[in-house]
Amino acid sequence: MAVEVSYNHSWSTSHTDAESNTVNIPAGHKGWIERGTAKQKATGWHEIHFGSRYYGHYIWYVNNYQSSGYTGDKPSLDCVNFKDAAMTSGERSAHC
């Protein structure tokens, strides 16, 4: 007896927003803003209910199920970091 189970699902989401930030960079330094999207990960059992018997069962369980993705939180909850670092002599001669 052999049982083969296949599952495929795609999620797609898109979001655009505008934000204004100011970073004060000391002379002789470079600066940038890093922004990340809040993500989450879920692990555990995945329980699937069928309206009629599927291979003899109405309910199937997927052990050790893992899923991750965007949390759907508001953009204001995203992670925003303001960074700066001293420029190297090569960067100074190339940009200053």
Parse the chain into domains and list their residue ranges.
39-69
Q: In 1-96, which residue ranges form alpha helices assigned H by DSSP? A: 89-95
Do 48 and 62 touch, CB atoms closer than 8 A? Answer: yes
What is the reported pLDDT for 3?
Answer: 60
pLDDT in tens, the chain (96 residues): 566 667 776 777 776 767 777 778 999 999 988 877 777 788 888 888 999 999 999 999 988 888 887 766 555 556 778 899 999 999 999 988
What is the reported pLDDT for 53?
Answer: 92
What is the reported pLDDT for 30?
Answer: 93
